[in-house]
Amino acid sequence: MAGNASLKLRRITWGDLFNDTLELARQIIASGYHPELLLVVARGGLVVGRILSDLLSVRDIANVSVKFYKGVGLASDKPVIAEGLNPGLVAGKAVLVVDDIVDSGSTLQAVLEHLSSNEPRGVKSAALYVKPWAKIYPDFYVRTVEEWIVFPYEIRETLESIPSGYEDALGIDPRVLEEIRDIIRKKSVDS
């Protein structure tokens, strides 16, 4: 996909992210589900998970680190759970798995399978966005999207992996883009 001229990007602003997370919280509350633990898929779900923690008044948060994407549109063969969780943390609790987006559904499926062996009392899942081709949908989501979503916390890594010429599609002030490029250049010199 990254080398494809039809790559479509959709930049999410911090305001969009908060408003969509607020809508996600409304859905969860309206459903009557009361999670005792948020299991956040790292790294993508970290920001969404923290905001949901506040909005839902859930103080217990754990994360599971999953490696799947290597860049924009470049997935590995299958997701790998790089860092699991303490089984005692989950047992007997109502858990909400949180991520920012469900693309193929493979990451969510791997996390749910990993979680089931830890005997939670209940499990639901939530993500801001889901792709229409996902093999599994979260229980709660705000909207279906087809574009490659660029979150406000991944601008640098997006710039490093999108083809040249797509920077304008991000809709970011050129001065800010240049500052980010300076950071990338300095980082590569220091490495």
- Helices and strands (H, E) in the chain, number of each type: 6, 8
Q: What is the pLDDT of residues 137-174, one digit of tens each?
A: 999 999 999 999 999 998 888 888 887 777 777 888 88
Element of type H or E holding 141: strand 140-144
> 100-132 burial, b for 16+ CB within 10 Å, e for fewer?
bbbbbbbbbbbbbebbeebebeebbbbbbbbbe
Nearest to 40 by CA among 89, 74, 92, 76: 89
Per the DSSP assignment, residues forming a β-bridge with 150 are 11
- Domains of the chain plus CATH, in order, are 9-152 (3.40.50.2020)
- Provide the token pair at 184: 């990338």
Do 118 and 87 contact (CB within 8 A), yes or no?
Answer: yes
The pTM of this model reads: 0.86
CA distance 69 to 145: 18
Q: What is the pLDDT of residues 53-95, one digit of tens each?
A: 999 999 999 999 887 655 555 555 677 777 667 778 899 999 9
CA distance 140 to 98: 10
